[in-house]
Amino acid sequence: MTLHVQTPLIESRPLSLAAGPTLWLKLEALQPSGSFKLRGVGHACEVHHARGARHFVSSSGGNAGLAVAYAGRKLGVPVTVVVPETTSARAIELLKLEDAQVVVKGSSWQEANQHAQGLLGAGDAFIHPFDDPLLWTGHASMIDEVAQAGLKPDAVVLSVGGGGLLSGVVEGLKRNGWHDVPVLAVETEGAASLHAAITAGHPVELPAINSVATSLGAKRVADQALACAQHHPLHSEQVSDRAALQACERFLHDHRILVEPACGAALALAYAPGRLAHYNKVLMIVCGGATATLEQIHDWLAA
């Protein structure tokens, strides 16, 4: 019994018509915590719990923190989540619904993360939002489920923030023998830390995040994400904030599921005519996101 659930894999007629190829959706937005994060975070929490951890500490203004809080509640382990001051009231409300203790500290995730590290004591386990092999192993299970369903795609489309999802999907592709399936790694233009790392040939830190897709707001990707780009077929893609927001709106209309702009970034590739035209069968990771509201998306579009 895992903390995450097996999510639906469905063919999307609206996205297929918009994109050209047949689009298959892996609906990670339907995980209990609202995003794919529960796969890796749940796996990490179970491993640390089995090793005797009595308290989980995390640093996340969003979906990773929600996944840790959910996992802790299900395992009976208290959770402290340190969030930056930029975290929305909605995200804090959702964390408290899962019985997490929320500490607001710092103007960025980096500062919140530094504070979280200082809270660690004996018997505590730190659950990183994206940079941990335990997370990648957990995230890889979504590709296992696709393989078990008998679908081998021509390409996988996903959003990239810190690189945890990318690292997990590539691990999943490799362990299913799909070394030839390329990944289209999508970032918003104001949060393109993977693209910057690929261009430089080494991880670099962005001076700032200038994107509404705050879940993609890692100034520097995990080293493993760059390694994936260097050792697995990968295409770095960028979309505008507006395209990501409009994709959220259209996806809500097409599939009645509300996702964050971070997820909208990947979906935007399907809604952009011609971007996926040279594939026949595409797997779209609908990574989800629990903290955005429709009102907020409309406000961003109006700005």
Task: Give Rg (Cα) of the chain.
Answer: 18
**Separation of alpha carbons 37 and 40, rounded Å:** 6
The answer to whether the CB of 212 falls within 8 A of the CB of 300 is: yes
Q: What is the residue whose two structure tokens read 């104001």? A: 190
Architecture of the domain defined by 38-130:
3-Layer(aba) Sandwich (3.40)
**Is-same-fold flag (9-36+134-302; 38-130)?**
yes
**Separation of alpha carbons 263 and 299, rounded Å:** 18
Q: What is the residue whose two structure tokens read 């690292």? A: 167
The answer to whether the CB of 273 falls within 8 A of the CB of 15 is: no
Q: What is the residue whose two structure tokens read 């999943």? A: 172
Q: In the chain, what are the domain boundaries?
A: 9-36+134-302, 38-130
Which of 56, 206, 193, 226 shows the shortest CA–CA distance to 128? 56
User: In the numeric block, which tokens belong to residue 178?
Assistant: 């799909």
Max Cα-Cα span within the chain = 55
Sequential pLDDT tens for the chain (303 residues): 899 999 999 999 999 999 999 999 999 999 999 999 999 999 999 999 999 999 999 998 789 999 999 999 999 999 999 998 888 899 999 999 999 999 999 988 889 999 999 999 999 999 999 999 999 999 999 999 999 999 999 999 999 999 999 999 999 999 999 999 999 999 999 899 999 999 999 989 988 888 888 777 788 899 999 999 999 999 999 999 999 999 999 999 999 999 999 999 999 999 999 999 999 999 999 999 999 899 999 999 998
**pTM of the predicted model as reported, rounded to 2 decimal places:** 0.96
* pLDDT given for residue 219 in this prediction: 84
Q: What is the residue whose two structure tokens read 């997820």? A: 263
CATH topology of domain 9-36+134-302: Rossmann fold (3.40.50)
Strands 79-83 and 101-104: parallel
Q: 271: Cβ–Cβ under 8 A, 6 or more apart, which residues?
A: 15, 18, 19, 243, 246, 247, 250
Q: 94: Cβ–Cβ under 8 A, 6 or more apart, which residues?
A: 34, 66, 290, 291
Tens of pLDDT, residues 9-51: 999 999 999 999 999 999 999 999 999 999 999 999 999 999 9
